Amino acid sequence: MNVDIICPLYNAEQYVQGLIDSIKKQKNVTINKFRFIVTKSKDGTDAILQKNGIEFTTVLPSEFSHSLTRETEAMKSEADILVFITQDVVIEREDWLENLIKPIENGECEASFSRQISKYNTIEKYTREKNYPEQSFINTKQDIATKGLNAVFFSDAASAIKTSVFKELNGYDGKRFSTNEDMYIAYKIIMAGYRIKYCANSVVSHSHKFSLKQLYKRYYCIGEFMAANPEIYKLGTTKAGGGLAKYILKRAICQFNVPVLFRFFPDMFARWLGMKNGRKKGEKH
């Protein structure tokens, strides 16, 4: 099977050359086309793509949508598999892509996503440990009973979907999401009776250092998404949020990670308040 790489880019000058080089080094895969979408800015992203002989689509900031921008490129694809990535993932292993798409090629699943690790010794390091364990697994509709919302956990920072399935399900239904478009498509995949595999042997580094204000805004958007898509959140959280918080605190104490311990309560409060206010705003519309 061949693949199309779909990746939105914005002010990506510091990332894009390394991203291209690491993808070109991938072994035992056939890349049909790079489908980069550049949100117009004043940096040199487009010049780097032109230097590498890579065609790309340009959109205005007002036109960009995490869902619709990806969907537009995906619907034009003639490849067997769609591979979605974000500009800030760091791909160090040459078997990343092979290990990501192999389960789809072998008929184990119709979608897959990679393991993500963080290079920073922050709260994100522990959330990555919890959400992206060392063992692979496959989620199906039957897992909703025991996993609840975790059954549709999925990240398009590094993921793959069989093109025919994406198109059959009508992608993101033409909706404009500011976040959680990956959860939306995962919900549709699972509810249609298809399977999603988490591939622990397909590894990328994905690291951030969010301020409390940025965290609040991020979870505010998630809260709005929750309000707009109640059918997804009716699956139940199975106390996932509380379990994650306990895991982070326990790991930070065990490692005597003082910066994380100081940050823990303000961080959790910013997430909770952002989500609460986002849901409240979303429920009014």
Q: For every residue of 150-195, which 3-state class applies, written as one string?
A: HHHCCCCCEEEEEHHHHHHCCCCCCCCCCCCHHHHHHHHHHHCCCC
Q: 3-state class of 11 per DSSP?
A: coil
Instruction: Note whether 88 and 201 are same-domain residues.
Output: yes
Instruction: Note whether 78 and 94 are same-domain residues.
Output: yes
Instruction: Note whether 182 and 219 are same-domain residues.
Output: no
Contact 138, 187 (CB under 8 A): no
Residue 240: is it exposed, middle or buried by C-beta count within 10 angstroms (0-12/13-18/19+)?
A: middle
Question: What is the side-by-side strand order in the sheet with 2-9?
Answer: 56-59, 30-39, 2-9, 81-85, 158-162, 111-117, 196-205, 137-139
Beta-bridge mates of residue 82: 4, 161
CA gap 263, 266 in Å, rounded: 6
What the block records as the tokens of 69 is: 């921008």
Domain boundary residue among 205, 221, 253? 205
From first to last of its 285 residues, what are the pLDDT tens digits of the chain? 999 999 999 999 999 999 999 999 999 999 999 999 999 999 999 999 999 999 999 999 999 999 999 999 999 999 999 999 999 999 999 999 999 999 999 999 999 999 999 999 999 999 999 999 999 999 999 999 999 999 999 999 999 999 999 999 999 999 999 999 999 999 999 999 999 999 999 999 999 999 999 999 999 999 999 999 999 988 876 555 678 899 999 999 999 999 999 999 999 999 999 999 999 987 876
Domain boundary residue among 137, 172, 205? 205
Instruction: Note whether 56 and 132 are same-domain residues.
Output: yes
Instruction: Note whether 201 and 219 are same-domain residues.
Output: no
CATH number for position 86? 3.90.550.10
With a CB cutoff of 8 Å and minimum separation 6, the contacts of 84 are 6, 7, 70, 156, 158, 159, 160, 161, 182
Instruction: Note whether 17 and 153 are same-domain residues.
Output: yes
Structural domain range at position 269: 212-284
Tell me the pTM. Answer: 0.94
Instruction: Note whether 97 and 144 are same-domain residues.
Output: yes
Residue 190 to residues 16, 93, 178, 222: CA-CA distances in angstroms? 32, 29, 22, 20
What the block records as the tokens of 172 is: 């993101």
Instruction: Note whether 112 and 233 are same-domain residues.
Output: no
Taking 3-state DSSP, the helix, strand and coil percentages for the chain, each rounded to the nearest 5, stand at: 50, 20, 30
Instruction: Note whether 237 and 163 are same-domain residues.
Output: no
Residue type, 269: F
Instruction: Note whether 146 and 53 are same-domain residues.
Output: yes
Instruction: Note whether 11 and 138 are same-domain residues.
Output: yes
Q: What is the CA radius of gyration of the chain?
A: 19
Tokens 């496959």 belong to residue: 138
Instruction: Note whether 55 and 193 are same-domain residues.
Output: yes
With a CB cutoff of 8 Å and minimum separation 6, the contacts of 9 are 15, 16, 36, 37, 38, 39, 45, 56, 87
Domain boundary residue among 171, 205, 239? 205
CA gap 201, 99 in Å, rounded: 6
| Among 278, 140, 147, residue whose Cα is nearest residue 217 | 278
Phi–psi pair at 116, nearest 5 degrees = -115, 135
pLDDT at position 239, please? 57
CA gap 211, 87 in Å, rounded: 20
Q: How many domains does the chain have?
A: 2
